[in-house]
Amino acid sequence: MIKILIVEDNDNLRKMIDIYLRQNNFETYLAKNGLEALDILEKNVIDLIVCDIMMPKMNGFELIKELRCIYVDLPIIIVTAKESKEDKIVGFKLGTDDYMTKPIDLEELLMRIKALLRRYSIKNNHKLNIGDVELDYDKLSVTKNEESIYLPKKEFYLLYKLLSYPGKIFTRMELMDDIWGMDSCSEEQTVNVHIRRLREKFKEYSEFEIITVRGLGYKVEKKV
């Protein structure tokens, strides 16, 4: 089930969005401000965020700025009473994917959520299958013939990213930004180390191969 985090300090609106999304088969998490949202994100895999701007302790703009240093591809929809062109420009520059002004139409919000999820190709079960191999995003596991390998987070995210786009070449910098975050102190050599570990762990797997593209980066080729 797709998990949506609702960050809204208005109790009535937060509850209304929560009920509507749960009625439409989403799993919801609730936060009253940016700090609560960050705490939830530390403990859960969230697929999309619906976020207000004007909130106490940490407002929506501050939250989005923080998130884009960590979660580069996490879809975010701003829902706010701030409707000026300047506010919208700030929101999009910080990295929001969509912007709705209050009062909102819940059906329209639902349509925008579904459109964003399609754009990010997020699947309902958080699983990726390549022949007999299954990657489970929630468990950080790779399973084949009922035997599972559990990976450290960064290794799993790196493999999941490459296998989600077979044939696509990713530069080391792109992978660093996506997996480790743009503000990470790690160097590009970190990617090389993780790639070597993945190749060693899955060298007997015939379903896919991690290819080095000289002078560019890496890609995965599916063999099934």
Q: Residue 122's pLDDT is what?
A: 52
Q: What percent of the chain has pLDDT over 70?
A: 94
Question: Could you tell me the strand order of the sheet in which 98-101 lies?
Answer: 27-31, 3-7, 48-51, 76-80, 98-101
Structural domains of the chain ordered from first start? 3-119 (3.40.50.2300), 127-222 (1.10.10.10)
Closest to 6 in 3D by CA, of 118, 87, 111, 110: 110
Closest to 46 in 3D by CA, of 22, 28, 62: 28
Tokens of 162: 């490459």
Write out pLDDT tens, residues 91-144. 888 888 888 888 889 999 999 998 888 777 655 457 788 889 999 888 899 999
Q: Of 9-18, 65-74, 131-140, which range is least confident?
A: 65-74
CA-based angle 222:217:75, to the nearest 5?
Answer: 75
Q: Residue 182's pLDDT is what?
A: 54
Q: Residue 189's pLDDT is what?
A: 83
DSSP state of 180: I
Write out pLDDT tens, residues 26-44. 999 999 998 899 888 888 8
Q: Residue 73's pLDDT is what?
A: 74
CA distance 168 to 188: 19
Q: Residue 43's pLDDT is what?
A: 80
User: Is the CB of residue 30 less than 8 Å from the CB of residue 19?
Assistant: no
